[in-house]
Amino acid sequence: MKLSDFVVREAIVIDLQATSKEAAIREILREANLTVHSQNAHSENQGASQAPSQETTVSNDGPTAIRVHVCERNREVVGVLQWRLVEPEAEILDLAVAQAHRRKGHAKFLLERFLQLAAKNGVREVFLEVRESNAAAIALYTNFGFSQSGRRPNYYSRPTEAALLLKRKLTG
């Protein structure tokens, strides 16, 4: 798989309509036992169709604005990263890949592009929570320089489970 096979798109969450991309995002999150973090989503495509977008910029929509980055392969949404900016920090809310596309580098690709974007736009630190049993995600985040900063018992439901709090400092 070549880097040119992927596209990163940013969708600022404002009003989720029933488009195929939005339905795909919902399905990927559902498969991962996650949810869309806003009642609303508006899709805003940026970047070339053959290469990952590196021209995406962070807008100043305030601390409650949820951003959604999707990874597409052959125009199909295969992964999603939801996050919010709370300057000078960012919080990753969810990172998920469609079951049929897991273990192919999509999560790594999304996380790498997100961290580049965050650093480029002055984010100093990134935070997230991850299920304590999610060894694959913990390994991914550790490989990207995240370290554990805390633990929240009984944070998740279905099943009830603790969350590990992870953080990473960025230099920009």
Tens digits of residue pLDDT in 58-85 = 344 555 578 888 888 888 889 999 999 9
Q: Tell me which of 19 and 17 has the higher pLDDT.
A: 19
Would you place residue 98 in the very low, low, confident or very high pLDDT band (cuts 50, 70, 90)? very high
Say which range, 5-19, 63-77, 101-115, has the weakest mean pLDDT.
5-19
Mean pLDDT of the chain: 78
DSSP 169: E
Average pLDDT over residues 102-113: 93
Is the pLDDT at 156 greater than 80? The verdict is: yes
Q: Cα(107)–Cα(22) distance, rounded to whole angstroms?
A: 18
Average pLDDT over residues 25-40: 76
Q: Which CATH architecture has domain 3-128?
A: 3-Layer(aba) Sandwich (3.40)
Is the pLDDT at 10 greater than 70? The verdict is: no
Would you place residue 168 in the very low, low, confident or very high pLDDT band (cuts 50, 70, 90)? very high
pLDDT at position 5: 46
CA angle in degrees (0–180, nearest 5) for 1-129-110: 20
Residues 6+ apart with CB under 8 A from 167: 125, 126, 127, 128, 146, 147, 149
* % of the chain with per-residue pLDDT over 70: 72
pLDDT at position 64: 59
